[in-house]
Amino acid sequence: MEFAYTEASLALQQRLRTFMHERVLPQNAAWERIAATGRFPSEVVEPLKQAARAEGLWNLFLPGLRAGEPGTRLSNIEYAPLAEIMGRIPWASEVFNCNAPDTGNMELLHLFAAPAQASQWLEPLLDGAIRSCFAMTEPDVASSDATNIRTTIRRDGDDYVINGRKWFITGALHPLCRFSIVMGVSDDSPDAPRHARHSMVIVPLDAKGVRIVRNVAIMNHHTPEGHCEIEYRDVRVPVSSLLGEENAGFALAQARLGPGRVHHCMRTIGQCELALDLMCDRALQRQAFGKRLSDFANVQDWIGYSRVEIDQARLFVLRAAWVMDVQGNKAAQVDVSAIKLVAAQLQTRVLDRAIQVFGAMGLTPDTPLAFLWSWGRAFRFFDGPDEVHLRTLARHELSRVKKEPGAATRYQVPPVEHEALEIAAMSAARPPEGARTAVRSTEVFQ
Amino acid sequence: MEFAYTEASLALQQRLRTFMHERVLPQNAAWERIAATGRFPSEVVEPLKQAARAEGLWNLFLPGLRAGEPGTRLSNIEYAPLAEIMGRIPWASEVFNCNAPDTGNMELLHLFAAPAQASQWLEPLLDGAIRSCFAMTEPDVASSDATNIRTTIRRDGDDYVINGRKWFITGALHPLCRFSIVMGVSDDSPDAPRHARHSMVIVPLDAKGVRIVRNVAIMNHHTPEGHCEIEYRDVRVPVSSLLGEENAGFALAQARLGPGRVHHCMRTIGQCELALDLMCDRALQRQAFGKRLSDFANVQDWIGYSRVEIDQARLFVLRAAWVMDVQGNKAAQVDVSAIKLVAAQLQTRVLDRAIQVFGAMGLTPDTPLAFLWSWGRAFRFFDGPDEVHLRTLARHELSRVKKEPGAATRYQVPPVEHEALEIAAMSAARPPEGARTAVRSTEVFQ
Amino acid sequence: MEFAYTEASLALQQRLRTFMHERVLPQNAAWERIAATGRFPSEVVEPLKQAARAEGLWNLFLPGLRAGEPGTRLSNIEYAPLAEIMGRIPWASEVFNCNAPDTGNMELLHLFAAPAQASQWLEPLLDGAIRSCFAMTEPDVASSDATNIRTTIRRDGDDYVINGRKWFITGALHPLCRFSIVMGVSDDSPDAPRHARHSMVIVPLDAKGVRIVRNVAIMNHHTPEGHCEIEYRDVRVPVSSLLGEENAGFALAQARLGPGRVHHCMRTIGQCELALDLMCDRALQRQAFGKRLSDFANVQDWIGYSRVEIDQARLFVLRAAWVMDVQGNKAAQVDVSAIKLVAAQLQTRVLDRAIQVFGAMGLTPDTPLAFLWSWGRAFRFFDGPDEVHLRTLARHELSRVKKEPGAATRYQVPPVEHEALEIAAMSAARPPEGARTAVRSTEVFQ
Amino acid sequence: MEFAYTEASLALQQRLRTFMHERVLPQNAAWERIAATGRFPSEVVEPLKQAARAEGLWNLFLPGLRAGEPGTRLSNIEYAPLAEIMGRIPWASEVFNCNAPDTGNMELLHLFAAPAQASQWLEPLLDGAIRSCFAMTEPDVASSDATNIRTTIRRDGDDYVINGRKWFITGALHPLCRFSIVMGVSDDSPDAPRHARHSMVIVPLDAKGVRIVRNVAIMNHHTPEGHCEIEYRDVRVPVSSLLGEENAGFALAQARLGPGRVHHCMRTIGQCELALDLMCDRALQRQAFGKRLSDFANVQDWIGYSRVEIDQARLFVLRAAWVMDVQGNKAAQVDVSAIKLVAAQLQTRVLDRAIQVFGAMGLTPDTPLAFLWSWGRAFRFFDGPDEVHLRTLARHELSRVKKEPGAATRYQVPPVEHEALEIAAMSAARPPEGARTAVRSTEVFQ
């Protein structure tokens, strides 16, 4: 076991930290003010993208980078601490071309795109020239069970015809967003297997019949790039828009999941670290009842708990990243459920404490806390609600124990019963001799 | 609405409080030391019983007292605060002939005993001359679902023959304990309704075939009167031992439940109040890092939360007592589930805080806390585990809402969609006009 | 004790419930849609106000109504359940002229306004013709300790001159809002007592130097009437604008507090009831993994816990209202701290569960949950943060116990030590005889 | 980073696991039954010790083993998983000569014993021929602050004279226990520095004046080896009994702490894993309301949460072990506070869930759960109460943030105020234009 990052990884972390501190953070207020008008702050982001790429801080997330593709190839365990650093500012990942959902889409295209698809969509994505979105969740069915998806992808001659409604489509309002990857039912024959009925197709955002219905507020909050509701009404795309095999949508969705969840979790940990920093900084400054807040034992408790909870969660996420690197994404499936559960619940807990230390100011948009909290609450649904992950974890544990049953019996201490004791002995006004050993609190030597 | 006790009730509370303070509390250490040897402290309890009866503090729990029966007839709402006062010392209720499980048994006999049964068993119970126990829970089936009971009560000529094993039989080792009321299956025909298959019979403890197997420790703790495991092997009692109707055991069990749970809950609240008193007293005495514990904000939080949680729970229990008085036990069924759940969880929470304030001493038998905690943990199972009560509550709420469905729809705010907006408008490098209203944090006037 | 409402109170509740259901709820979506554009929905509210007043549902909150003043005079315990009913829709209280902060201002003016002040400001408030706001909280000092207030109210000839900055001023953007009551330092001499240095003055919103700086989002959420930041720069008002005595601002603030907190708490309970209704309704409709959500035991647990927590909190708030009615506002001071703490924490807990049952939809503005949650989070600061109330409660308990110290000693069970046992006895390879009673788990009779 | 154990470590784990399964577990009931009589089960333990030593599973805990000393030298990170395996059975560590408090004492003697002390006490300890105890905690002072210790160690000629009272002295009733290491005040001059006033001396248990007062029950539970209260009255030992330097007791205590806490924590994790195994096994067997408990979603939640909490805690403890190996015990001081806090709170949480799954049986001594729970509750005090560790953690975080202050400012988003807006504009019946951006829930495109 070795809990230290490699020298190379530490050096890269330091470069990224410096870039964040010197280049990104000073632009944060500007970004927020423009975004507050509803417009995406391209004039802030684009120059930073060029600078980051020039410094080699580009496409850090993609282990599969091939010769000629821009960016630095890193393993999951190398990328994870970088995601944590980027995560301290919600919009920063894009500066390094490492933002969701484009990262997941690039992974997917890397694995499954035909050559023409790759040159049309993947290359400009890797260059940061365009953005994309991923249309899976639907408003009318329980998102916890993806087999419920109802959007249809029907073959009609050389086209697919798409009908349905999706929501929580992150990034659809980004000024550079050009296409969505849409998941839908492509085989509705009654005997089709539950997990072999869906396909994914690439649908340009300007295709006829695509309509962005609205930018859905999340816990009262809008982002300028949007979490949108999109209607697909008789949208036609050529059959060449199919991604991977027909009816293999589920397998594709699975392939896309693992690393993205690690990224989400590490960014979340970055947010928690920021919240802890802010909490401490504020507690050191603020007075109440003649003491600094940092001298109150309850505030100290919040700080102490936050520290140990964050540190544990980070190790947990890093181990999942390591399992992916060593054994592949599939082997890490339960680990990835576990870290998603842990990180999301951690976030709202730590953020809530930070807000409490800030007092009423913590409710306002003057600190990052209110926005981060709303993200954290939403994260408890993104990639599946807590309950689905708990169920996955429980089923995994139960099947483990089922394989080697009987622990309860092996560790049981069966009581020795006194065979001869008959109740007749009880009828006297006092308990039998032996009952004296039924002691209450006998720490007294006699 | 009126939240004050009546004058009469307050006066009775004061008399009981005085008796507890002047007579019972000074004997507490003596009781504990004798009990610690495994022997029941009759020499402590019997004189106190006589004194309490002489003062008219006797059988306070039984609303149904009839002319000639000893004791003071009180309503549930009048008795409840008395149970709280008695509850501060675990063994005190017996001094007033108000201890479980005898209270429940006296209620049951009051309602269902034939005249001969009454004179043989009920009268000496009301006089405090004998004790009794109640044999329902079984070791091999889930206690949460009483239809699982397996002990058999088989008619054979003029006898019933009882076979089975029971545990958690409180009081069976009391030197005055003379009989158990046993619940078992009396009709095992396959088509018998699930709730009309059981009967209750009165079984003397000295009947042949009754064997007290052991006094089961509860969370490591023994009481001298015992929470026993009892085996019934071919035990014969005359058919006149049947309590109430044959196969009406469930109805009897239900009748027995309500008031007993209120008593349990109020005694529990008394324990919580004691724990809060002890916690404050200790916090005021003890120093750490140059301050009294009572000056640490986390200790203050524990005290503050304990106060509001106890006060809320007491009101909740009193309301259930009031429902029983006004509408009868049956109407209070869900309320009684609710208070049981609340009181048991409250106890371990408050006790845990008190233990933490006492430091290592809180682990020892030198304070009442360790014992009370173990009682509290057990209370989460007595009269049904938390989960059964939560289930009852949820089903009640769900059926309420089912009667008037549609709240989610009535309170929904359906979004107004912009009909004309086509995605074509999105292909420009910036969002459409309308998207400007997709604000991030626009508290700025423009 | 009597836990039933009077007939008259029940009848009034039914009338209000009917009005809410038939008149207010059907307008809810319209109100929300207009408010979503940033404009206050006067065209929705004004006709409803007239209808409510015509039905005698007007100024229900004000126990002090005098002859000729419009409205129905109710006690706190009669008004409380009405506040709960109104609380189900955030904007409904105004329909009945019962909305904060006008209710508190009307109470204050009722108690302290000079006749000219009453005719200029109180009468139109009671008529619902104008609105008002209350300017106390400041951005730069800890709101938990009101002696920190820095805004100055300086006497200059026949004027007061006000300088300072306030925030979280609810209602300042209401189109009918005409004045604020401003609290500030009027005596800054070093030897002035800490609680006799502040005054309250009435400041018209259109006075020169009053500037609404911004409408502060609360947990990402704006209301059309605003929670505003206001700057007062050299604002002059005539000395006749003083409310009550000079330097008596603290006494006035205290007088204002009690009933307002009960209203807040009961509205909050109404919101929790609504959330529980919605949670059940949704759970009954939605399917996952082949079952309705209402059949999952964890969802049932959330429902069960919500039920018992809400019911306990309601009783707790009602008791505080009753204390106010019977013993006056001052006597209820600690009770009022307690209910504020309990209600605010309850709200976010119940709302969080409801959101979880709704899935991603719970994050959107399509249900009332996201907004209500943000209100609940803010409520943990309004009228003092949780920690201040916990501190108040703890100090009250500690001083109670201090008066009768020694509980820890009285309830102690001092161990009997074995005097003669010398360690020499231990040197043998086995423990002394007496040590046999140091049992581990001896439930066995020997 | 590398999260895998080495091959050698895995092989050793497997050997230990096999020994535990084949040799120790089958004797568990026998051990418990003898212990239940109050006698230490030497006849069970001694043969197992010989077998373990023969297999090379001996003194695995001591990184400092020297040539000729029996046992296998392992690093902390190699030993930690072995402690977890041993931890599943409370008495198993002794079989491998790895039990507290002897492990800590052996470490201490290894570091500080003079040659004569080593041959008299350390060698037989390493051989498992004798046992020892460690006398630090005192009943009359707050254990959280060790400078409070009052026992005196006074030089008198060639002797030290010891007077004082200690409690929670684990192991003093073990039949092989021969000496205690006693910490006390050796320099009570007023100007002695607070952390240079105490010494440690070796005191044979059979020295005149040593009296084992009682075996203190811990949460109602006794162990046969005892957690004892010991009185030292005018006990004389030669000055050669001093361990290390005079007045260096604090430094010695610190040196003893780190590894011991890792051992405690890993054993605790072993207990949590056992509890999880038992919980799953029971849930798979038991039925209620027509389903297996393992099919209830709330039980699944408990299992899922237990899994992720245990896994995180284990990583956290292992990292602390690694820090010790790489940077030394002193560098790991805060880490060691952190793991102690986490492990103790984890234990009672997981154990409580397991008890709940077992129903009433979980309260009895028939499963290991009740005993383990009482150990877990005590662990929240052993080596310092939770609050002391939280304080340590908070102070560490605060001092970290203090070094680089200003995070709250750097991440602030100061609002842009509209300079020209005067309140005059507000006097019209509707808000100013700009206020339209004060939106409520505007996800609608217009």
Please answer whether residues C442 and A438 qualify as being in contact, where contact means their C-beta atoms are separated by less than 8 angstroms. yes
- Partner residues linked to C177 by β-bridges: C131
Which chain A positions have a beta carbon within 8 Å of B429's beta carbon? Answer: 42, 175-176
Q: Of residues A254 and C367, which shows the higher confidence score?
A: C367
Best CA proximity match to C300, nearest among B399, B319, A388, D276: B399
Average pLDDT on D131-153 reads 88
The answer to whether C307 and C245 are in contact (CB under 8 A) is no
Name chain C contacts of A168, Cβ cutoff 8 Å: 360
**Please, which pLDDT band fits residue D143 given cuts at 50, 70 and 90?**
low
Helix axes B28-35, B42-54, angle to 10 degrees: 140
Model pLDDT for residues C298-327, shown as the tens digit of each residue: 999 999 999 999 999 999 999 999 999 999
Tell me whether residues C360 and A386 touch, CB distance under 8 A. Answer: no
Q: Which partners does chain A have (≥3 C-beta pairs < 8 Å)?
A: B, C, D
> For chain B, which ranges sit under pLDDT 70?
143, 416-446
The pLDDT of residue A424 is 32
Q: What per-residue confidence (pLDDT) applies to D140?
A: 82
Of B274, B313, B441, the CB nearest to C217: B441
Tell me the CA end-to-end span of chain A in Å, nearest whole number: 53
Mutate to test the interface with D, among A78, A227, A398 (most CBs of D within 10 A): A398
- Residue among D170, D379, D384 at smallest CA distance from D272: D379
A362 close to A356: Cβ distance less than 8 angstroms: yes
CB pairs under 8 A between A and C: 146
pLDDT lower than 70: segments of chain A: 143, 416-446
Take residue A178 and report the two structure tokens written for it.
Answer: 């050009």
Mean pLDDT, all residues of chain D: 91
**Short-list D306, D278, D286, CA closest to D372:** D278
Hey, are the CB atoms on D391 and A300 less than 8 Å from each other? yes
Listed in sequence order, the residues at least 6 apart from C256 whose beta carbon sits closer than 8 Å to its beta carbon are C104, C107, C108
Instruction: Name residue, tokens 């030089």.
Output: D155
Please list, in sequence order, all residues whose beta carbon lies within 8 angstroms of the beta carbon of residue A145, skipping any fewer than 6 positions away.
Answer: A388, C288, C289
Task: Give the torsion sign (CA, A91, A94, A98, A103).
Answer: positive
CA B82/CA B96 separation, integer angstroms: 10
ipTM at complex level: 0.92
CA A78 to chain CA centroid, Å, is 18
For residue B228, give the chain C residue with the closest CA: C443
Any D CB within 8 A of C290 CB: no
Position C67, amino acid: A
Closest CA to B138 of B161, B162, B160: B162
Residue D432 has pLDDT above 70, yes or no: no
Contacts of D60 (CB under 8 A, 6+ apart): D12, D71, D72, D74, D79, D82, D96, D98
The Cα C268–Cα C276 span in angstroms is 12
Contacts of B314 (CB under 8 A, 6+ apart): B84, B266, B269
Q: Is C182 on the interface with D (CB under 8 A)?
A: no
**What's the CA angle centered on D21, arms D16 and D24, to 5 degrees?**
85
Work out the minimum CA distance from A122 to partner chain D, whole angstroms.
Answer: 31
Say which residues have a Cβ less than 8 Å from residue B348's Cβ, sequence separation at least 6: B373, B376, B377, B380
Nearest alpha-carbon partner for A126 in A175, A183, A68: A68
| Strand pairing category for B177-185 and B131-135 | parallel
Report the residue of chain A nearest B228, measured CA to CA: A438
Give the orientation angle of helix D333-358 with respect to helix D369-379, to 10 degrees: 150
Among candidate residues B301, B298, B306, the one with its CA nearest the CA of residue B278: B306
Residue B355: what are its φ and ψ, rounded to 5°? Answer: -60, -40
Nearest to D435, CA basis, from D446, D426, D444? D426
Distances, alpha carbon C431 to alpha carbons B54, C434, D135, D167, in Å: 48, 8, 19, 18
The pLDDT value given to residue C285: 94
Give me the residue from A210, A226, A431 closest to B175, CB to CB: A431
Confidence band for D146, pLDDT divided at 50, 70 and 90: confident
Q: What is the mean pLDDT of residues D66-80?
A: 94
Residue D442 has pLDDT above 50, yes or no: no
Considering only CB atoms, which chain D residues are within 8 Å of B289?
144-145, 391
* Chains A & D: contacts with CB separation below 8 Å: 239
Nearest-CB residue to D360 (from B143, B365, B421): B143
Residue A110 confidence (pLDDT): 94
Closest-CA distance of chain D to residue A104, Å: 25
Q: Are B437 and A38 within 8 A, CB to CB? A: yes
Which of C36, C298, C364 is nearest residue D439 as measured by Cβ atoms? C36
Identify the closest residue of chain A to C415 by CA–CA distance: A444
From residue C214, give the alpha-carbon distance in Å to each of B161, C194, C388, D423, D443: 83, 31, 28, 11, 21
Over 70: is that where the pLDDT of D317 sits? Answer: yes
What DSSP assignment string belongs to B207-226? STTEEEEEE--BTTB--TT-
Q: What is the dihedral of CA A103, A104, A110, A115, to 10 degrees?
A: -100
Q: In A, which residues are within 8 Å of C439 by CB distance?
A: 437, 439, 442
Domains in chain C, ordered, with CATH? Answer: 1-100 (1.10.540.10), 115-243 (2.40.110.10), 250-403 (1.20.140.10)
Look at residues C93, C85, C32 and name the one whose alpha carbon lies nearest to residue C277. C85
* D419 burial level (CB within 10 Å; 0-12, 13-18, 19+): exposed
Residue D358 φ/ψ, nearest 5 degrees:
-75, -10
Give the pLDDT confidence score for residue C315 in this predicted structure: 98
Distance CA A136, CA D333 (A): 48
pLDDT the model gives residue A24? 98
Give the H/E segment covering residue A417. none
D381 touches chain C (CB under 8 A): no
pLDDT at residue C433, rounded to an integer: 34
* Integer Cα distance of D67 and D330 in angstroms: 26
- Shortest CA distance to A214 belongs to which of B410, C29, C30, B414? B414
Average pLDDT over residues D103-130: 97
What is the C-alpha R_g of chain B?
27
What is the sign, positive or negative, of the torsion defined by CA atoms of A253, A256, A260, A261? positive
Please report, to the nearest 10 degrees, the dihedral formed by the alpha carbons of residues B242, B244, B249, B253 taken in order: -120
* B201-210, B251-260, C3-12, C150-159: range with lowest mean pLDDT: B251-260
**Between D28-35 and D42-54, two packed helices, what is the crossing angle to 10 degrees?**
140
Chains contacting D (3+ CB pairs below 8 angstroms): A, B, C
Q: Which residues of D touch B417 (CB under 8 A)?
A: 444-445
CB neighbour list of residue A47: distance below 8 Å, 6 or more residues apart: none
Chain C residues whose CB is inside 8 A of the D205 CB are: 423, 426-427
**Chain A: nearest CA to B326, how far in angstroms?**
41
pLDDT of residue C92: 98
Q: Do B32 and A226 touch (CB under 8 A)?
A: no
- Identify the band that residue D427 occupies on the pLDDT scale cut at 50, 70 and 90: very low
Chain C residues touching B323 at Cβ < 8 A = 3
D326 CB-contact burial (10 Å; exposed 0-12 / middle 13-18 / buried 19+): middle
Exposure of B369 by Cβ count < 10 A (0-12 exposed, 13-18 middle, 19+ buried)? buried
Per-residue CA distances from C174 to A356, C132, C226, D421 (Å): 29, 9, 7, 16
Least trusted range by pLDDT, from A190-194, A316-320, C39-43, C366-370: A190-194
Cβ–Cβ contact C189 with B under 8 A:
no
Phi–psi pair at B189, nearest 5 degrees: -65, 140
Q: Which residues pair with C291 in a beta bridge?
A: C288
Residue from the list C216, C288, C380 with its beta carbon closest to the beta carbon of A364: C216
D35 contact residues in C (CB cutoff 8 A): 440-441
Return all residues near D191 (Cβ < 8 A) that are at least 6 apart: none
The full DSSP string for B303-332 is HHHHHHHHHHHHHHHHHHHHHHHHH-TGGG
Taking the Cβ of residue C399 and every Cβ of chain B, the question of whether any pair is shorter than 8 Å is answered with no
Q: Do D281 and A414 touch (CB under 8 A)?
A: no
Average pLDDT over residues D266-280: 98
- The SS3 of residue C164 is strand
Task: Give the residue from A336, A411, A439, A440 with the most D CB atoms within 10 Å of its CB, the best one to mutate.
Answer: A411
pLDDT on residue B417: 60
Residues of C in contact with D444 (CB under 8 A): 33, 36
Q: Say how far apart CA A153 and CA D249 lie, in whole Å.
A: 77
Contact B282/D at CB under 8 A: no
DSSP state, B389?
Answer: H
Cα(D286)–Cα(D357) distance, integer angstroms = 9
Check B431 against A39: CB less than 8 A apart.
yes
CB D181 within 8 A of CB A412: no
Phi, psi of B5, rounded to the nearest 5 degrees: -70, 155
CA distance B255 to B154: 24
Q: Are D359 and B142 in contact (CB under 8 A)?
A: yes
CB-based contact C411:B372 (threshold 8 Å): no
3-state helix, strand and coil shares in percent for chain D, rounded to the nearest 5: 55, 15, 30
Shortest CA distance from B293: residue in chain D: D142
Interstrand relation of C131-135 and C177-185 (parallel, antiparallel or unpaired): parallel
Look at residue A194 in the predicted model and tell me its pLDDT. 87
Confidence of residue C416 (pLDDT cuts 50, 70, 90): low
Listed in sequence order, the residues at least 6 apart from B44 whose beta carbon sits closer than 8 Å to its beta carbon are B27, B30, B31, B34
Q: What integer pLDDT is reported at residue B257 of this predicted model?
A: 76
